[in-house]
Amino acid sequence: MYVRPALLLAAVVALSGCGSSPETTAATGAKPTAEASAAVVPAAQGLTISDPWVKTVKKGMTAAFGTLVNDTGADLTVTAGASPLSPVIELHEVVDSGGKMVMRPKEGGFVVPAGGKHELRPGGDHIMLMGVSEEVKPGARISFTLTVKGGAPLEFTAIGKDFAGGEEDYQPGMEH
């Protein structure tokens, strides 16, 4: 039996559309548009950062801070960062090691709980920028991109800000 290619293609298209008809989804109570968008919505769509800033520095090392806010119903994990300001960026934490506070890379990244916040602050979790060769002055606008596990990246601009508190010294030779 000879079947014309156009007829065969029409049958395949018609059959493939059956699974998403309004009648089929109405039986399950699901809305077709919600199902379709849930499949393509990146996990990071609900991730934002409030009050992002970067500690001013002439060159060397500095850090970025702010509050990550997760408006989704699932935990989101920030796994890496990038900025034109620095060739090397690490996600860091400050921990007590034998009575001494030390900086070190944050294993597994920053987990922002569902519907919650994760603070990046001096003396705590932060985004470490190493090899900074340009001066960061007060008011400078620094662009960042954070990688989110399983989701779209978070892009934002942080503002340069003088900060002398917490006795942080993000300079070469600091133990981390």
pLDDT reported for residue 168: 53
Nearest-angstrom CA–CA distance, 156 and 91: 16
For 38-64, the pLDDT digits (tens) are: 333 344 578 999 999 999 999 999 999
Superfamily of domain 43-164: PCu(A)C copper chaperone (2.60.40.1890)
From the centroid of its chain, how far is CA 129? Answer: 16
Q: To the nearest 5 percent, what fractions of the chain are helix, strand and coil?
A: 20, 45, 35
pTM of this prediction?
0.70
CATH 2.60.40.1890 boundaries in the chain: 43-164
For 114-145, the pLDDT digits (tens) are: 999 999 999 999 999 999 999 999 999 999 99
| Residue 109, token pair as written in the block | 């990244």
- Least confident range from 3-7, 71-75, 124-128, 165-169: namely 3-7
Kindly tell me the sign of the dihedral angle through the C-alpha atoms of 66, 141, 43, 104: negative
Using pLDDT thresholds of 50, 70 and 90, give the confidence band for residue 106. Answer: very high
The residues with which 126 forms a beta bridge, in sequence order, are 92
pLDDT reported for residue 90: 97
Residues 6 or more apart whose Cβ sits within 8 Å of residue 127: 63, 64, 65, 81, 89, 90, 91, 92, 120, 144, 146
Exposure string of 98-130, with b = 16+ CB inside 10 Å and e = fewer, is eeeeebeebeebbebeeeeebebebeebbbbbb
For 12-30, the pLDDT digits (tens) are: 333 333 333 333 333 333 3
pLDDT reported for residue 34: 38
For 153-174, the pLDDT digits (tens) are: 999 999 999 998 655 555 444 4
- Other C-beta atoms closer than 10 Å to the C-beta of 138 total 11
